[in-house]
A and B are shown apart, each in its own frame.
Chain A
Amino acid sequence: MNTYYAANLLVYAAVDIIACIALNLQFGVSGIVNFSFIVFQAAGAYAAAVLSMPPDTASGYDFQIYVGGFQLPFPLPWIGGAIAGGLLSIPVGFVVLRKLRSDYQAIALLVTSIIANTVITNARPFLNGAAGLALVPQPLQDQIDPVSDSYQYFYIGLSALSVVLVWFVASRIVNSPFGRSLRAMRDNEVAASALGKNPVALKMMIFIVGGVIAGLSGAILVGFIQLWAPSVWLYPETIILFAAVIVGGRGNNLGAVLGALLVPVGFEEVTRLLPNQFDLGGLVITPQVGLIPALQWVAIGLLIIGFLWFRPEGVRPEPRRVFEGSPDPSEVELVSTA
C-alpha cells in the first residue's frame, strides 16, 4: 500500500462520510427523500472547479469550454462549492418541497437529477458537456508539490478537518430542539404543523444545509481527482448514498459515517480485490467486462432490501433520548403498588 493509494482511499472515505452525514440530515432526520442529492455534490464540484481554473482561453485549457475561470486561491473554491450547493437548493426546494406530498417529492427530485445531468451533458458551452472539466487545479498546488507524499498527507488532513467540521455542525443540529422539530415533522407532518411548526420552512432549511454540505463534498473531491464530468454524478450515485444511510442507521450521524465506510468505500474496495478470472476445479471462468460493476449494483439493491426487511433501523439505530432525571420505571411501579 503506497501513499497515493491510501490518500485515494481516505479522501474518498471523507467525501462519502460528509455526503452521508448531509443525506442523513435530510433523509434520516427530516424524512426528505432527496433522490437528487448527487446534483448538489456536482454543483459544488463544478463551482469549485471553475473558481480555481484559469479562463478557458488560457493556454493548456483551451481544449475545453466553460463559464468562469477565476483562478481563486484556496480555500475560496471550496467555500464557493459549498455556497453553490446551498444556492441550488433554494430553487429546487422551492419548487419541490412546498406543495408536493413526500412520495411525489422523491419522484420529482429523481427527475430533477436526470434532467440536470442531461442538460449539463448536452449544453457544452456551460461546463464542457459530456467531456467534463479536466486539469482542475489542486488546493495550494503552487506551494506544495502535488506529486509528493507530503501533499497526499496534506490533502488527507484537509479532508479530515472538513469531516470534523461537518460532524460538529450535524451533531449540533441533530441534538438540539431544532433537530427534535425536524424529527417530529418526519414522523407526522400534519400533527407538527398543528403544533405551530412550519413544515415548509423546516424542510427548506435542512434542504439548504444539506445542499451546502453536499457542495463542500464535491469541492473536496474535485480538488483531488482534478476532473469532473456528467458520468461521475449519474443518479445511481445517490442510491449508493441512500444504501449507506439505511445500512448505517437512519437518523444517527455515527450510523451515517459507518454506512459511508461500509457501502461506498467498502464495496468499491471489495470488488477491486476480485480476481479477473475464477478457477473452479479446472473450469476457468472469465467474467465479461462490466459484469463485476453490474453485480455491484445487484448487491447494492439486495443490501438495501435486506436491511429494510431484517434490520430497518440499521447498524447504529437512531438513539432514544433519555433526559437527565428520568424516573426508573421499576421504581415508579413499586411506588404505585405500595
Chain B
Amino acid sequence: MSAPPEKPILVAQEVHRHFEGMRAVDGVSIEVVPGHITGIIGPNGAGKSTFLAVLAGTLPATSGTIIFDGSEITRIPAYLRARRGLVRTFQLPSEFARLTVLENLLVAAPGNRGDSLWGALLGPRYWMADENRLVAQARDLLKRFGMSAKESDYAGIMSGGQKRLIEIMRALMLRPRCLLLDEPMSGVHPRVVEEIQYYLQSLRAGGLTILMVEHELHLVEQLCDSVVVMAQGKVIGSGTMTSLRRQREIVDAYLVG
C-alpha cells in the first residue's frame, strides 16, 4: 500500500502562452509533487522553456491558472513569485558578471536590512549584522559546491560549468520551496554534470521540490521521480521513464530519433 498522494505544491491548469498566434504553450496542465524531482522532456521547440518561464512569471500566461502552495499566482510578477519560494534558473548563463561570485550569492539573499534605500542610508552599523550572517551562509554553500576559492573573482570570468553552479547556489540563497531548473546541465563538463546531479539529489533528500527541463534522457532517468513529455506545446504523456518507454507514440515522438 502506498501512502495517499501528497497535495501538489505547484499546479498548472490549461496554461497557454501564445506569441502572435504561435501557440508555444498550448494548454498544459501538470501537478508537481512536493519533495520530488519532476522532469520535463521533449524535442526542441516543444515549449518546455517557455512553460517554465510562464510558471516563474518571466513571461505572462496568455490564459490558464497557476497555483503555488495553495494560492493562485497567475497574475503576480516574477519577483513576488521568487519571494514566495518559487525560484527559477536560466538556460543561458545569467550571472551578474561584474559582481563577484560571493556577491552573486549575497544579492539573492532576502532579509538584509541594508537592501533598501533607507537601510543603505542608515549605514553599515544598521545592516552589518545581517550582512555577516548572510556572508557566512553564502560561504557554507560555496564550500558545499567546492567553489570557496573563487568567491572574490568576478562571476563573468567563470567557466560555463561554474556559472551553472553559481546560478544554482544563488537560487538556493533564497531558501526556495520549489526550484525550476532550465537545462542545468547544458554545456557543462561531464564531471561537473555528475557534481550537479549529486547536489540535486542531496537537495531532494533535504525536502526541496524540483521541476527541471532536461535533454539528456539518461540523466532524467537517474534523477527524476516522474517525467512530463511535451511536444508542440502540449503534454503528450507523463509518468516514470520506465512507463513512458512502453508508450508507442511517445517513443515515436521523442525517445528515439
Contact = CB atoms under 8 A, between A and B. Distances in A.
A209 B151 contact: no
Given A178-B114, A180-B99, A187-B96, A193 B78 contact: yes
B244 interface: no
A179 B90 contact: no
A255 B10 CA distance: 48
B167 to A, nearest CB: 8
Nearest to A205: B117
A157 to B, nearest CB: 24
B152 A169 contact: no
A187 B130 CA distance: 24
Interface residues of A, number: 39
Interface stretch (B31-39, B103-111, B213-221, B230-238): B103-111
Nearest to A322: B152
B77 A193 contact: yes
A173 B58 CA distance: 28
B174 A180 contact: no
Interface stretch (A6-14, A140-148, A196-204, A297-305): A196-204
Interface in A222-270: 251
A328 to B, nearest CB: 9
A172 B104 CA distance: 20
A316 interface: no
A205 B117 CA distance: 8
Given A177-B112, A193-B82, A321 B100 contact: yes
B14 interface: no
A329 interface: yes
Interface core residue of A173, A179, A191, A333 (most chain B CB under 10 Å):
A191
B98 A188 contact: no
A322 B114 CA distance: 18
A321 B138 CA distance: 15
Interface in B78-109: 78-80, 82-83, 87-90, 94-100, 102-104, 106-108
A176 B121 CA distance: 8
25 contacts: A172-B120, A177-B120, A177-B130, A178-B115, A180-B99, A183-B96, A184-B96, A187-B97, A187-B99, A188-B94, A188-B95, A193-B58, A194-B58, A194-B82, A194-B87, A195-B171, A195-B174, A197-B79, A199-B79, A209-B117, A320-B152, A321-B100, A323-B152, A332-B149, A333-B149
Interface of B: 56, 58, 77-80, 82-83, 87-90, 94-100, 102-104, 106-108, 110, 112, 114-117, 119-121, 123-124, 127, 130-131, 135, 148-152, 154, 170-171, 174
